[in-house]
Chains A and B, each alone.
Chain A
Amino acid sequence: MITQVLTAAFLTAFLAAGIRVAVPILIAALGEMVTQRSGIINLGIEGIFIIGSFTGFTVAYFTKSLFLGFLLGGIAGGLFGLLMGIVSVRFLANQIVTGLGFWIMCGGLAKLLVRTILGIDKYSASSDFNIPRLESLSISYLSKIPVLGEVLFNQNIVVYLTLLSIPLFVYFFKYTRMGLNIDATGENPRAADAAGINVGQVRMLSVTFGGILAGLAGAYLPLALYGVYTDDMAVGLGWMAIVVVPFGKWRPWGILAGSMIFGAANALQFRLQNMNFPLPYQFLLMFPYFVTLIMVILFSRGRSSPSALTKPYFRSEH
């Protein structure tokens, strides 16, 4: 058994799958990072994830275009992000409660819509509807490198784009005015306001951006990973994205590392199940969440979070 686990082929397949599963977590977590650095926590990510999956799948199913699936999945996510922004920025609502509300609402909405739109009744399942998946794009020479080539250079386009975006996020926060404005808004909204920054606008944009990325991450599941849609498709990936943000200390590279660990935990669990690993499968299913729990306990302490996170901002505090 152990020798079976430690072969190069297993390792390659495991790491490649790890990245594929890590990418949706990574996309959503990068969006949530931007949202949180502006001072808002969006706990509805899991729900927006589901909306993204549903929208992406349905659009791709009817139009036969994966691109349109991603596009509309992102737009749908952005709309829900905007809604979250309006509720928390304009109406100063409690972000924890609102976020949880969004999660429940989105899950229910997706269930309802998938049944009405695809005409599913109790005799059929949505998994009967199939779409082609996004194909891998191997990069000619690099993909021939043993292990690493298969892992890094034989993935789909979304994986490449996501990984390439990491340095862009770093640059954005370090060298652009908008990045600076977002950080100022999340750290000290009063100071940002006094400096002439429109705090509400910055936060709205950030939550909407976070929604778009969560929608894209959701669309990735049916369009790039599974080729089908099921109700429980997100399986907590949105929550994992939320855990990854503090784990990565609100920094892009840290978030990449965190996502990879979760991706690997998921992939490992998958692989071991397929190999009839001598452990009840329920335990294997539990494994990624167990890792999440441990990581929350170990890494969510410390004071590096944006100081104004979850605190609504309004001017007249008299």
Chain B
Amino acid sequence: MIDHHIPVVRLVNITKSFGDVIADDGVNFELLPGEIHGLLGENGAGKTTLMNILYGLHQPDAGEILIRGEVHQVSSPHKAIELGIGMVHQHFMQVATMSVIDNIILGLKVGSDFKLGRDAARKRLLELCKLYGLNVDPDAFIWQLSIGDRQRVEILKALYRDVNILILDEPTSVLTPQETTELFYTIRKLVDAGLSVIFITHKLEEATSITNRVTVMRDGKVVATKETKKTSKPELAYLMVGREVLFRTKVETREKNSHRDVLRVSNLKVKGDRGNIAVQGVSFTVQSGEIVGIAGVDGNGQSELTQALTGLREVLSGNFWVDDVELTNASPYKVIQHGVGHIPEDLADGIVSDLTLVENLMLNRHYKPPYSKNGWMNERIMESEARELIHQHDIRTSGALAKAGTLSGGNKQKLIVAREISRNPILLIAVHPTRGVDIGAEEYIRNLLVQMRNRRGAVLLVSTKLDEIMDLSDRILVMEKGRIMGEMMREEANIEKIGLLMAGAEG
């Protein structure tokens, strides 16, 4: 019988720092039996670190962990699992080259030392699948599965280990809206079966829809723990950010006169890394003064498409033009020279960590006058221009000559956007421009994209955040399995419609 008064997990005064950065600072947290407890906070608030400590991946510098009322040293994930704690990480802890069943039994003693007990394990797994209504083929290889399936494998992995405390780290960030609904259904089923769930998220919508209680973290500290019924989204947002947040970026409808096609893509096919055809013949245009958003679940050809458009990946067939100049298979240098700006998918691809802010800001212009003459760079001009950009975009740094690697995620991204936009590109290709940045930087970057559009620039925006796509785009394309499944104007768009297209329904 579950005692409803003793918390299954109690974290007392947990403190953890990495070098000079304090990730968690005296954090207290309680999980009651049978509850879904939301852990809400911005990126870098210390949520994941805290849960990694509970799961034994990190050791706290100070503080105590109580499981079912007893103090425990959770020295490793192995120990955590013994204590009945399971965790589904944001990046799945799976071996892609192995089968589902091998991933499930990995690290467990099944069978003898000389032979794995795959058959017994398969039987048990299928029973669990049936019990919780989770469907997955035990003998499929992980790399063959969809993201939703892979997440189910992670949950099954925990269930197979008889955990009764389950930590889910941003579980919906990779799912379609429909998959999210399915996941929520599963979570409720788990709780009915007696599990207690910790749900890490930075999305207010989720924090208020599925949880019983919410603990809000900011800058490594717990700000408040609220009963979900007795709080609201604005209140949680205020607690999370520490100030009022505007939920929508204002975008005026654009004037309709005399727009020209800046980017024209015709039947483009691009190869993926696995030798597959990642982009299967897409055609579209982006006009001046327009933001075109590409929605879709990660890994449906968006990366390959934008890499091809910026000269970073070979085009198999088809063509594209920027202002009527064909740039198919042109070098990145040529693409830049034609006025294309690029905010790359991965932050790390947009800056050189070991170079200074000045050098990073000047990376796309340092080779031409007035920044350099006859191969000699003019540091004075570069530094003054860089300082102006840092000031103008409020990039928080210890100095213009500090290494770019010392910046926070949000400031790194601001630096990249500042560099790209300050060149006045005619086309900006922005891929996940607000991924991994805090709400403040997110708002700022979104506004910059809108400003560029209002100055009659063309913006191609790729994002997995539906609200971002719907708030900013004048026109929305949905990509699935390398194809464009549908196109709609902002006025016609809604979550259900886009969600269905993302899941592959014909538009």
Contacts and interface: CB of A to CB of B under 8 A. Distances in A.
Asked if A pairs with B, the answer is yes
A92 B463 CA distance: 37
A191 to B, nearest CB: 4
A316 B107 contact: no
A181 B107 contact: yes
Given A183-B95, A315-B57, A315-B58, A176 B107 contact: no
A177 B58 contact: no
A62 interface: no
The main secondary structure of chain B at its interface with chain A is loop
A22 interface: no
Contacts of B78: 196
A135 to B, nearest CB: 33
Contacts of A183: 95, 97-98
Contacts of A181: 106-107
B91 to A, nearest CB: 8
Interface in A178-194: 178, 180-181, 183-184, 187-188, 190-194
A197 interface: yes
Contact of A318 (B18, B89, B96): B18
Contacts of A184: 95, 98, 106-107
Given A177-B111, A187-B98, A188-B94, A197 B106 contact: yes
Contacts of B246: none
A298 interface: no
A175 interface: yes
Nearest to B77: A194
Contacts of A190: 91, 93
A195 interface: yes
Contacts of A197: 106-107
B106 A195 contact: yes
A318 B106 contact: no
A188 B93 contact: yes
Most buried by B among A181, A190, A191, A307: A191
B116 A180 contact: yes
Nearest to B157: A195
A239 B206 CA distance: 56
B93 A191 contact: yes
Given A175-B116, A176-B113, A181-B107, A194 B89 contact: yes
B380 interface: no
Interface in A153-193: 175-178, 180-181, 183-184, 187-188, 190-193
A193 B21 CA distance: 24
A187 B21 CA distance: 30
B168 to A, nearest CB: 14
Interface residues on A, range: 20 to 34
Contacts of A176: 113-116
Contacts of A193: 57, 77
Given A183-B98, A184-B98, A194 B57 contact: yes
A187 B110 CA distance: 21
A299 to B, nearest CB: 17
A191 B95 contact: yes
A195 B107 contact: yes
B31 interface: no
Given A175-B116, A316-B18, A318-B23, A196 B77 contact: yes
A191 B94 contact: yes
Interface string A195-222: 1110000000000000000000000000
B87 interface: yes
B212 interface: no
A318 B19 CA distance: 9
A64 B21 CA distance: 63
Contacts of B93: 188, 190-191, 194-195
Nearest to A188: B95
Interface in B34-53: 49
A181 B161 CA distance: 17
A197 B58 CA distance: 15
A176 B110 CA distance: 10
Contacts of B89: 194
Contacts of A192: 95, 106-107
B173 interface: no
Interface in A274-318: 303, 307, 315-316, 318
A318 B18 CA distance: 6
A195 B274 CA distance: 27
Contact of B76 (A187, A196, A303, A307): A196
A196 B107 contact: yes
B94 to A, nearest CB: 6
Contacts of A177: 109-111, 113, 116
Q: Taking each of A181, A187, A188, A315, which has the highest tally of chain B beta carbons within 10 Å of its own beta carbon?
A: A188
Contacts of B49: 318
Contacts of B273: 303
A194 B95 contact: no
Nearest to A184: B95
B315 to A, nearest CB: 21
Contacts of A195: 77, 93, 106-108, 157
B102 interface: yes
- Interface-central residue, B81, B91, B94, by most chain A CB under 10 Å: B94
A173 B105 CA distance: 15
Nearest to B94: A191
A183 B157 CA distance: 18
Contacts of A180: 98, 102, 105-106, 116
Interface in B404-434: none
A183 B99 CA distance: 12
A180 B23 CA distance: 34
A187 B92 CA distance: 13
Nearest to B107: A195
Nearest to B89: A194
A188 B96 CA distance: 8
Nearest to A308: B95
A316 B98 CA distance: 25
Interface in B60-102: 76-78, 81, 87, 89, 91-98, 102
12 contacts: A177-B109, A183-B95, A184-B106, A191-B103, A192-B107, A193-B57, A195-B106, A195-B108, A197-B106, A307-B96, A307-B97, A315-B57
Given A180-B116, A183-B95, 10 more contacts: A176-B114, A176-B115, A177-B116, A180-B105, A184-B106, A195-B77, A196-B76, A196-B81, A315-B57, A315-B58
- The 4 A-B pairs of least Cβ separation, nearest first, read A195-B107, A196-B78, A191-B93, A318-B18
